[in-house]
Amino acid sequence: MKMNLFELPPACGEEVTDVLWENGTLRVERIVSRGDVSPDGFWYDQDEDEWVSVLQGSAALEFPEGREELNPGDTVFLPAHRRHRVAFTSTEPPCIWLCVFGKKGQK
């Protein structure tokens, strides 16, 4: 089914995640953020590797040792268990993320 990554879902007051494709090992998501950030004191500590790219808007990821500003075209690789949080996402234009999550294959 055809989808345009830049076609925005209606604003609903929260971040919108669309799973574009997945199999048992990989998952590709489009996330639309409109000023959404991680709750105070919350840190992601995921079991999966994650590669993120900002397609539109801007964002900032925070790590225990610093902060990374992201603009259109910027990418970051977050290995599994790399603690991070979303410190900022733009509202106008909304931040559109393209994310690829990966798990180690089962033996």
Number of domains composing the chain: 1
Give the CATH number for residue 33: 2.60.120.10
Is pLDDT of 12 > 90?
no
What pLDDT is recorded for position 107? 47
Q: Where are the alpha helices (DSSP H) in the chain?
A: none
* Strands (DSSP E) found in the chain: 16-22, 26-33, 49-56, 59-63, 66-70, 75-78, 85-89, 95-102
Q: Is residue 107 part of a domain?
A: no
Q: What is the pTM of this model?
A: 0.91
Domain interval for residue 70? 16-102
pLDDT of residue 10 exceeding 90: no
**Does residue 11 lie within any of the structural domains?**
no
* Cβ neighbours of residue 38 closer than 8 Å, sequence gap 6 or more: 44, 62, 85, 86, 87
Position 44 in a domain = yes
In a domain, 2, yes or no: no
Query: Is 5 inside any structural domain?
Result: no
- What is the rounded CA–CA span in Å between residue 87 and residue 71? 14
